[in-house]
Structure 1
Amino acid sequence: MSNPSVHITGIGGYLPERIMTNADLEKMVDTTDEWIAERTGIRQRHIIAEDQMTSDLAVEAAKIALADAGITIDEIDALIVATTTPDLIFPSTATVVQSKLGGKDFPAWDIQAVCSGFVYGLAQAEGMMRGGMFKRVLLIGAESMSRIVDWTDRGTCILFGDGAGAVVLEAGESDDANGLIGSVLHADGSYRDLLKAHHPHAPMTPEMHHEPVDFRIDSAGAAAVEMKGNEVFRVAVTKLGSVVNEILAKHELKDSDIDWLVPHQANIRIIQATAKKLKMDLNRVALTVEKHGNTSSASVPMALNDLYVSGRLEKGQLILLEAFAGGFAWGANLLRWSK
């Protein structure tokens, strides 16, 4: 097959059972439901159970996506897990997911681009599939962000939640106008100190830090998320606006051609700013931040799944996925829905 098209043929999402509301957070830190909702748009988030791992969330989302595609794990050629919160340093969470699903002897690996992980993974999978390496790829974004949050830091603990989203990608006919159209990816490590989480066992060197280090450690002993919120917001809005313009220009499309914007669910204000730049009404934007919070690499596939299960996606619609992440890493994907 010459330069095949790439389609999403199965999709699924999973959220752990425990829900933490803003009212619950009021009992833990100096904050209020009104303050959180006004600044972030978040009302609640889901929290992983003590006996669950990131791989467990990924497995549940993958099972739904595989069933939706009408295939089994034995028909998958490769498995990619985008995650910032792996089960182990090694082996990869993807190999753990592979084993739990009963799969064997096909490549499985993790990709780490924080909240942009799924967008990066989709671009990577598309390129490998168009090159003929794989016919079917299972791509998952899965996170247990609650395990790297400092629950005494009201500036960050209010933002994050846990969950997983998965898609099955399949190669189709080369002349099919639907499916994935293309991607744009960027990163700039000079911004790394604005949003980060130190590795708890990494040595501290003068090259790594130019000022005294204030370690934040969560209750489980892991290095917790640190963020300079105002600076992150300003850069995110600028970079997302730029990458959206870039990918549309690359494929000779206009703002008005987009039927659905599926953004990373970090903060309602960032989403609103991006929609405004696109001149898009919010009723054409996938919004799950209110009920999911920021689930990092899981947020884009879960938001896409939310559109799908609600019946709002129609074949031939143009969908723009975009995300911005620590690093900073950011990017966008374009696709025409073909399911």
Structure 2
Amino acid sequence: MSILRSVLRGSGSYLPAQIVSNADLAKKIDTTDEWIVQRTGIRERRIAAEGETTATLGLKAAQAALADAGMDASEIDLIIVATATPDNTFPATATQIQAELGISHGAAFDLQAVCSGFVFGLATADKFLTSGAAKAALVIGAETFSRILDWEDRTTCVLFGDGAGAVVLTAEPGTGTLADRGVLTTHIRSDGRYANKLYVDGGPGSTKTVGFLRMEGREVFKHAVVNLAETVRHTFEETGLSGDDIDWFVPHQANRRIIDATAHKLGIGEERVVITVDRHGNTSAASIPLALAEAHADGRIKRGQLVLIEAMGGGFTWGSALIRW
């Protein structure tokens, strides 16, 4: 049976030049490098410079992904930007990137699922491509979380960083089997009962302000390990695969302890887990595409390999996707 698959043609990333180490933060707030590393695995993060915005970061990642794919921007007819830190209430950050790429056809829109945003964006693009509604898509995760942090709250400001990652997907014929290249399955979930566990305390419809990020860390950790393992188990049940079959596990980079606990639950050895949280911090929707781009660029992820991604974010939202590279 011939079907359409969303094949990943290229990936790219962009990180701001400014590196802020744990030692740098310790000069400003009551914390230490040891405290941060022990609890999160984070050693440093990137912070956007004056004049850098979510759109400028996303644009550079998109250009890198197009170059990696060997494609021209004019071939793209769908742009989805996953972000919780848009440059404006409107227009969408995606339309700003669309204009900078010189594209005036197709559709461009933002998607908000916080740290799960890239997985939700990939799942959405997959539906457009496999239905024939679009032929080529850019899915971008881009964030400037440093601008919604309370820099006096040591429990949150040490966790996050800025950056952007992107992938190019094209609709290609497949056989309908797990041997196909492309997105093989996606699962996305949300449960709004836990909104007060991880949220931003502002917005145009409530406070008329941007607000700051607030989090109950222990509660988020507890739900993350359970929810992430659950969504991946759905993937394994649907495909008949197990952790042994996965070549690379590329999780959302929020906390090294969450990553390790989830990989252990799924039976995936640490040698097959892509880790960037130590150098990037939590870049929310940008974390998975940043990690994918790094592991592809350095040769770890190779064509034909099975790549599993998963994430959980505020809302709560969570999801996973299985891709044959």
Whether these two folds match at TM > 0.5 is: yes
> In the alignment, is the contact (CA less than 8 A) between 2:116 and 2:285 conserved in 1?
yes
Q: Does 1:265 align with 2:253?
A: yes
Which AA in structure 2 matches 1:317? Q
Report the 3-state secondary structure (helix = DSSP H, G, I; strand = E; otherwise coil) of the residue aligned with 1:199.
coil
Residues 188-219 of structure 1 show CA distances to partners (whole Å, capped at 9, x for unaligned) of: 00000000002244337xxxxxxxxxxxx9xx
Q: Using the alignment, how far apart are the partners of 2:239 and 2:10 within structure 1? A: 25
Range that drifts further, 167-176 or 304-313? 167-176
Cross-structure match for 2:307: 319
Cross-structure match for 2:7: 7
Cross-structure match for 2:238: 250
Q: Using the alignment, how far apart are the partners of 1:172 and 1:19 within structure 2? A: 40
Q: Does 1:62 align with 2:62?
A: yes
> In the alignment, is the contact (CA less than 8 A) between 1:147 and 1:222 conserved in 2?
no
Q: Does 1:179 align with 2:156?
A: no
Range that drifts further, 304-313 or 288-297? 304-313
Residues 308-329 of structure 1 show CA distances to partners (whole Å, capped at 9, x for unaligned) of: 0110112221110000000000
Q: Does 1:189 align with 2:177?
A: no
Cross-structure match for 1:207: none
Q: What displacement does 1:28 show?
A: 1.3
Q: Using the alignment, how far apart are the partners of 2:68 and 2:204 within structure 1? A: 41
Cross-structure match for 1:208: none
Cross-structure match for 2:285: 297
Residues 225-264 of structure 1 show CA distances to partners (whole Å, capped at 9, x for unaligned) of: 0000001100111111111111111111112111110000
Q: Using the alignment, how far apart are the partners of 1:203 and 1:335 within structure 2? A: 39
> In the alignment, is the contact (CA less than 8 A) between 1:116 and 1:324 conserved in 2?
yes
Q: Using the alignment, how far apart are the partners of 2:72 and 2:247 within structure 1? A: 31
Report the 3-state secondary structure (helix = DSSP H, G, I; strand = E; otherwise coil) of the residue aligned with 1:84.
coil
Give the fraction of aligned pairs with identical amino acids, expressed as a percent.
50
Cross-structure match for 2:117: 117
What CA RMSD, in Å, does the superposition of the two structures yield over aligned residues? 1.5
Which AA in structure 2 matches 1:224? F
Which AA in structure 2 matches 1:41? G
Q: What displacement does 1:2 show?
A: 5.9
Aligned length: 322
Residues 53-79 of structure 1 show CA distances to partners (whole Å, capped at 9, x for unaligned) of: 100000000011011111111111111
TM-score, normalised to structure 2's length? Answer: 0.96
Cross-structure match for 1:161: 161
Cross-structure match for 1:198: 201
Cross-structure match for 1:280: 268
Residues 149-181 of structure 1 show CA distances to partners (whole Å, capped at 9, x for unaligned) of: 000000000000000000000111232712110
> In the alignment, is the contact (CA less than 8 A) between 2:204 and 2:210 conserved in 1?
no
Q: What displacement does 1:289 show?
A: 0.1
Q: Using the alignment, how far apart are the partners of 1:256 and 1:2 within structure 2? A: 28
Q: Using the alignment, how far apart are the partners of 2:279 and 2:268 within structure 1? A: 22
Which AA in structure 2 matches 1:133? A
Which AA in structure 2 matches 1:111? L
1:12-31 matched pairs, under 5 angstroms: 12-31=12-31
TM-score, normalised to structure 1's length? Answer: 0.92
> In the alignment, is the contact (CA less than 8 A) between 2:77 and 2:105 conserved in 1?
no
Structure 1, unaligned runs of 5 or more:
205-216
Q: Does 1:228 align with 2:231?
A: no
